[in-house]
């Protein structure tokens, strides 16, 4: 090979390396933009939203529906209010939010809007002085992240705006089944888990409390994967016996009428 041919080969190799690096950078930027402004995946490590979201469920949250807040970005941005907001959160929406007392991202259901009064009495939920309708739809066994099983009763609960969702209760005399009346401050939301007796939520003021609007990260949309026992998804050899195929590619608002195991 002549010196000229070697020079051309070197230039070609350098150009190919440069092009590869550019493609990788572009792909990373596209992924970052997609995750920041459009959709972000999350997993469920705890039992607080069962049976709506089970331990081992993976779901996508919309970032643009409620606009962007302080914790919508990879690094928190000190925003005073939400930006690019298309709509406001409603009762019954499933929300991903940053919980400042623990420094973690939580997933709960929005129960109280700014100005609402929320209270639990003997296991029943009251909003603005009215007890919510609750219909028993079945029984099941709940298993938490420590593999502790408990029998539960499933109910269909109806919110004041007509939205229905499934909750589960161990009983109506658990520690958070009787509370003081909470008044949701302006610009804040009251969150509760669907697994009412196994959820640390806005009922526990020091651990969660009222969630500022700017701490909302996204609105839950749909499950795209689900596996038992919180097994890592990359362990494909575990899939045949452990993937919950019937929970995949479903809206997180699809009614649940039983407790999967």
Catalytic residues: 48, 108
Strand partners for 124: 121
Nearest to 144 by CA among 45, 226, 59: 45
Q: Return the structure tokens found at 163.
A: 């939205």
Question: Exposure string (b/e) for 92-122, b if CB count within 10 Å is 16 or more?
Answer: bbbbbbbbeeeeebbbbbbbbbbebebbbee
Residue 102 has phi, psi (to 5 degrees) of -105, -10
The angle at the Cα of 52, spanning 157 to 172, to the nearest 5 degrees, equals: 45
**Cα 193-232-170 angle, rounded to 5 deg:** 25
Residue 105 and residue 64: Cα distance in Å, rounded? 18
SS3 83: strand
Q: Any idea which residue has 């009763």 for tokens?
A: 153
């Amino acid at each position: 090979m002549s010196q000229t041919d070697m020079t051309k080969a070197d230039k070609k190799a350098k150009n190919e390396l440069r092009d590869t690096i550019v493609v990788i950078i572009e792909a990373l930027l596209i992924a970052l933009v997609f995750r920041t402004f459009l959709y972000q995946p999350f997993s469920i490590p705890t039992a607080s939203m069962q049976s709506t979201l089970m331990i081992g469920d993976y779901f996508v949250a919309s970032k643009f529906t409620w606009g962007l807040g302080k914790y919508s970005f990879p690094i928190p941005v000190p925003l005073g209010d939400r930006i690019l907001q298309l709509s406001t959160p409603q009762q019954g929406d499933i929300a991903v939010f940053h919980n400042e007392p623990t420094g973690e991202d939580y997933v709960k259901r929005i129960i109280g809007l700014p100005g609402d009064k929320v209270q639990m009495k003997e296991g029943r939920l009251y909003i603005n002085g009215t007890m919510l309708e609750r219909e028993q739809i079945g029984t099941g066994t709940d298993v938490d992240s420590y593999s502790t099983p408990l029998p539960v009763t499933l109910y269909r609960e109806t919110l004041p705006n007509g939205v229905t969702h499934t909750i589960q209760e161990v009983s109506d005399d658990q520690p958070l089944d009787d509370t003081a009346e909470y008044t949701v401050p302006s610009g804040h939301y009251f969150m509760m888990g669907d697994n009412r007796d196994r959820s640390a939520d806005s009922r526990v003021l020091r651990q969660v409390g009222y969630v500022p609007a700017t701490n909302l990260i996204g609105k839950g949309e749909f499950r795209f994967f689900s596996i038992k026992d919180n097994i890592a998804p990359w362990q494909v050899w575990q899939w045949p016996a452990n993937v919950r195929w019937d929970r995949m590619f479903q809206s997180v608002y699809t009614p649940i009428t039983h407790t999967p195991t």
